[in-house]
Amino acid sequence: MAKIDEIKEILNTLRLFFSIGIGLVVVLTGSLISKEKTAEIDVYFWIGSFIEFILIIGLIFIIKAIKNNTTKIKDL
């Protein structure tokens, strides 16, 4: 397999993970807002908030990896 094909596969996988991550953030945000509206600020709310924070940090790393691989394709 050529190097460019390998990088394209990595990019496709990263884009898939990014899409799944965005979907998880949207669903989790909705459920956290729902819990906040009903004044159910319990341990599950805080666990969900922490998980959402970790997801957002992970998405930032995925964006950086997509950018790096895109520049690698440009250089090839």
Domain chopping of the chain, boundaries: 3-75
Percent of the chain with pLDDT over 70: 99
Structure tokens at 69: 């691989």
CA 18: distance to chain centroid? Answer: 4
- d(CA 62, CA 11) in angstroms, rounded, equals 10
- d(CA 46, CA 26) in angstroms, rounded, equals 16
Mean pLDDT of 14-34: 96
Contact of 6 with 72, CB cutoff 8 Å: no
- Sorting pLDDT into bands at 50, 70 and 90, what band is 76? confident
Write phi, then psi, for 68 (nearest 5 degrees).
-65, -45
- d(CA 10, CA 64) in angstroms, rounded, equals 13
Give yes or no for residue 2 having a pLDDT over 90.
Answer: no
Is the pTM of the predicted complex or chain greater than 0.75? yes
